[in-house]
Amino acid sequence: MLDALSPEEWQALALSVKVSLWATVVSLPLGIFAAYALARWRFPGHGLLNGLVHLPLILPPVVTGYLLLLTFGRQGWIGAALWDWFGFTFAFRWTGAALAAAVMAFPLMVRAIRLAIDAVDPRLEEAASTLGASRAVVFLTVTLPLILPGVIAGAVLAFAKAMGEFGATITFVANIPGETQTLPTAIYSFLQVPGGDGAALRLVLISVVVAMGALALSEWLSRRVAARIAGR
């Protein structure tokens, strides 16, 4: 299947992997923090934070992409400052595609990690605290090892979601071959031209294989880590 890919199809596949990896790696620390805050802390605005985290799940992706354009575009209130101060922009760049993918995948990542944190007995953390460990030390030595399967599952789910992101990406960064054209937008482009069905089908099959492979890898890694934690 891979041997039959044209240079344009290879370019879309490579860019999708690059965008998805960056989206996952950069958002993972924030995802762990948000999941821990939602699971363990009670503070004014807790419900608002929970709503904001999950908002991309219920908003149409095009709306999310438009909001990203308003915020991080060259004329956006953050994007304009980035351009004026650093000469950097997200709009119509692969970095913008990574940002859009990260935003759309973030709720899935946080949800998986939060479920793992909810499953940890708080008394284990309290016991470590009574021995004089700081909150950061307790998290790094007690909580994080126990939730590692959930962290892995959340990261892999986010990667798979990022690979399939279309609406927010095409709205925010358009569909520029070699710059922002990922697998989903390449499939869309091929379906718009006569004779493009074959290329679109190849990319669809690759997308399915990558998504299923990511889910299988998530299950395998989670089981291995859980078994190691359990001492088996």
Cα three-residue angle 172-177-182, rounded to 5 degrees: 60
Look at residue 149 in the predicted model and tell me its pLDDT.
Answer: 85
Gap between the Cα atoms of 33 and 151, Å rounded: 11
In degrees and rounded to multiples of 5, residue 101 shows phi and psi of -65, -40
Quick check: 151 and 113 in contact, CB under 8 A? yes
d(Cα 168, Cα 170) in Å, to the nearest integer?
A: 6
Task: Give the per-residue pLDDT at 199.
Answer: 87
Structural contact between residues 167 and 184, judged by C-beta atoms closer than 8 angstroms: no
List the one residue out of 210, 215, 227 whose CA is nearest residue 17: 210
Q: Helix %, strand %, coil % for the chain, to 5? A: 80, 0, 20
Q: For residue 7, what pLDDT is reported? A: 82
pLDDT value for 228: 64
Alpha-carbon Rg for the chain in angstroms: 20
Q: pLDDT of the chain along its 232 residues, tens only?
A: 555 677 888 899 999 999 999 999 999 999 999 999 999 888 898 999 999 999 999 999 999 999 999 999 988 889 999 999 998 999 889 999 999 999 999 999 999 999 889 988 888 888 888 877 788 888 988 899 889 888 988 998 899 899 989 999 999 999 998 889 999 999 999 998 888 888 889 899 988 888 888 878 877 877 776 676 665 5
Whole-number pLDDT of residue 231 = 57
- What is the model's pLDDT at position 194? 86
Contact indicator for 102, 26 with CB cutoff of 8 Å: yes
Identify the pLDDT of residue 3.
59
* CA pair distance 232, 229, nearest whole angstrom: 8
The pLDDT value given to residue 229 = 60
Q: What pLDDT sits at residue 2? A: 58
The one-letter amino acid code at 224 reads R
State the pLDDT at residue 25.
96
Ordered domains of the chain (ranges, CATH): 2-59+95-230 (1.10.3720.10)
Residue 65: its pLDDT value, please?
Answer: 95
46-58 and 61-72 helices, crossing angle to 10°? 120
CA–CA dist 31, 27 (Å, integer) = 6
